[in-house]
Amino acid sequence: MSTPLTREERERIIELAGANPALCRLIEDDGELLPFLLKEVPGEVGERLRAEWYGHILGSLGDGCRIGPGVTMRVPERIHLAEGCSVEGQVHLDARGAGIRIGAHTKVCFGSFLKDENADGYIHVGAHSYIGDHSIIFGNRGVEIGDDVLAAPQMLIVPYQHIFASRDRLIREQGGLQEKVVIEDDVYLGMSVRVFYGVTIGRGAVVGAGSVVRKNIPPYAVAAGVPARIIRYR
């Protein structure tokens, strides 16, 4: 649970970072101050400092977590990182909805973008999973990714579909459909897989690179294509 910095702690970290005290006094929110001071510190020193100090602003920060340089966060008190997880450089975590949870020993790779999107939205990733570089996950109505899931780079999950049935109204005024996405344990998603609203991908399934998943994939199925179709079972 996040704990506010004391006055002495604020002064110590500002001095340690060599920052301008007058400028730092303008940044009253700890959740903005600490990333301002520590976000770009490179190498092992940066990882050590973020592991030491980000517990003040995150909802929870497990032992042995690694947070790379350039990681940005919105509403960090709703972000929970379990023990041993890794958030690589240039990842963005936006938890202005119901929150983001990353499980133990899971890796979120370089340049990925996770946004829980709205008040009902959330993103939960289980333990020992892997989210490849430059993946994008929107959390409308919820995204649940299980344990031991492997997602190759550039995965996209969007639990939302615009409605465009009427010609008499602007598309942006017609709203959309939102429904939770579930990816069960031990799933492998190839590079650039797209997963859309309301889909469940069953335990042990494999989805080929470049596939667009619009319907449920049963457990242990191997699927590929646009749209994804079942090729065989493991």
> At 21, is the secondary structure helix, strand, or coil?
helix
Residue 181: both structure tokens together: 């996405």
109: burial class by Cβ within 10 Å (0-12, 13-18, 19+)? buried
162 as an active site residue: the answer is yes
Phi/psi of residue 46, nearest 5 degrees:
-60, -45
- Name beta bridge partners: 223: 207, 230
Residues with catalytic roles: 162
